[in-house]
Amino acid sequence: MNRNAPSNRTTRRRGIHAACATALALACAVSLPARAGKITPPPVPSNLQVNAGSRPFLLGHAFGTQNYVCAPSASSSTGVAYVLFTPEATLVNDDLAQLTTHYFSPNPNPNDPNTNPAVLADGAIRPTWQHSKDMSKVWGKLHPNGSAVLDTTALAWLLLDVVGSEDGLNGGDILSKTTQIQRLNTTGGLAPSTGCSSPSDLGHQAYVDYTADYYFYTNQ
C-alpha cells in the first residue's frame, strides 16, 4: 500500500465535498427528465455534432471527481503516468434534483467484449450512467474523433456513442433509449502534474474535482 494512501482518502473526501456540497445539498429528490423542448445544447465543434435526426431528451449537470492512479507507462520518459480508473459523479437537473450517477463498469453487451487482458471483467470497461429513479443504465464509447479541447485547464469535450443499455427496475427505460451523449462545458478534472514522477509513486491515487454538462440524445 502506498504510504500516501491515508492522506489520499482524506483528499478524496475533501475534494468530493468541495465539488458537490452546494449542488447536492438539495438533491435529495429524484427528477423525471426535462422536456426535450427546453434543452438547448451549446454550439459544438463539427466533430462533436450528433447524428442527424437525434434530439436531446435529458440534461444532467455533473459534480464529482476524475480518479487517477499512477501506473507504468511505456510512453512516459519517467516510466510512469497517471491513468484514469473511473469518474465518480452525480448528475442533477436545473433544480438540483438527482438524475443519475456516473462511473466506469463492464458493459454486458456481448458485441462489445473486453479486449484488455490486464482487466478481469466480463465486458469492456466503459463510461456508465445509471438513472437514479428507475435504475436503467447506458454504456458509452468515444465516437471516432469525438474529442475537442476548448480549455487547456479542463477536460476535453466529448461525443460518445451508446454501445450498451439495460432496463432498470420493473422494466424502467428512461436511459435505455439513449443513442449518443455529449460531455460539454467542462471545468477541472485533469490529472495532476505532481505525484506521479517516478516508479516510487506507483499506486498513488489522485481525485480531481470536475464539473460538466451531459446531454443525452435519442433518435426515437
Average confidence (pLDDT) over 165-181: 95
- Distance CA(141)–CA(27), nearest Å, equals 28
Number of domain units in the chain? 1
The reply to whether 39 falls in a domain is no
Three-state SS for 200? Answer: helix
- Structural domain including 134 reads 5-32+55-218
Closest by CA position to 147, among listed 158, 138, 136:
158
26-71: per-residue pLDDT in tens? 333 333 444 445 899 999 999 999 999 999 999 999 999 999 999 9
Q: Count of residues for the chain?
A: 220
Looking at the chain, the whole-number percentage of residues with pLDDT higher than 70 is: 83
Distance from C-alpha of 177 to C-alpha of 58, rounded to nearest angstrom: 11
- Confirm whether 48 is domain-assigned: no
CA–CA distance, 170 with 62 (Å, rounded to integer)? 26
* DSSP β-bridge partners for residue 62: 91, 212
Q: How far is CA 184 from the centre of its chain?
A: 11
**pLDDT bracket for residue 169 (50, 70, 90):** confident
Cβ-based neighbours of 2, under 8 Å, separated by 6 or more: 8, 201, 202, 203, 204, 205
Q: How far apart are the first and last CA of the chain?
A: 49
64-89 pLDDT, tens digit each? 999 999 999 999 999 999 999 999 99
Average pLDDT over residues 153-182: 96
C-alpha cell at 74: 511505456
Higher per-residue confidence, 14 vs 154: 154
Asked if pLDDT for residue 23 goes beyond 80, the answer is no
pLDDT at position 1 is 38
| Residue 136 included in any domain | yes
What was the pLDDT predicted at 38?
Answer: 84
Band of the pLDDT at 4, cuts 50, 70, 90? very low
Q: Is 106 left (phi over 0), alpha (psi -120 to 50) or beta?
A: beta
Judge whether 46 lies within some domain: no
What's the pTM value of the predicted model, to 2 decimals? 0.84
Answer yes or no: are the C-beta atoms of 52 and 141 closer than 8 Å.
Answer: no
Q: What percent of the chain has pLDDT over 90?
A: 79
Q: Is residue 85 part of a domain?
A: yes
Residue 50 lies in a domain: no
pLDDT of 152? 98
Amino acid at 156: A
117: cell is 487482458
Q: What is the pLDDT of residue 35?
A: 43
Residue 108 inside a domain? The answer is yes
pLDDT of residue 118: 83
CB atoms within 10 A of CB 131: 28
